[in-house]
Amino acid sequence: MPGRILIVDDDPFICDALELILTGAGHATKSLQGGQGVLESVMALAPDLVLMDVNMPGVGGMEALDTLRRSGITVPILMMTADSGPATIRDIGARGGSGHVTKPFDADALVIRIARMLEPDAAPVPQGPDVPGPR
């Protein structure tokens, strides 16, 4: 099911690559370089999914995730990270993230994962920072 996806990453190359991959799969995309302004972007764009990097200078992905969940935003948020250690994965879930993708990622696997997350019967999105997300 095609959807509107907000990509949040400080690396313009990653943003461009993800836009190319996801628009090729039929999704509408918008990129935000860095976590600053993510709440405003989500409210303005009303995306179906946010794909966000964990490690960014300034406002990092975890801080942006906290901001979105504290604001009552329930859109699925799929976090991207090169650090897929157990502590990071637990932290993503504890903060209300809907899952994670390990960088570098496989484009086809990412497209499939996002399509599953956008299905109408997908698992519910966690409602707060203390509720672990679906795996």
Give the pLDDT means over successive 10-residue stretches in the chain (135 positions).
94 97 98 94 96 95 96 96 90 95 93 93 56 37
Number of domains into which the chain is organized = 1
Q: 3-class DSSP state for residue 67? A: helix
- Residue 134 is assigned to a structural domain of this protein: no
- Say what the pLDDT of residue 61 is: 96
- What CATH code is carried by the domain that includes residue 69? 3.40.50.2300
pLDDT tens for each residue of 38-52 = 999 999 999 999 999
The parent domain of residue 35 ranges over: 4-117
Helix or strand run (H / E) with residue 8: strand 4-8
- Assessment of whether the complete model's pTM goes beyond 0.85: yes
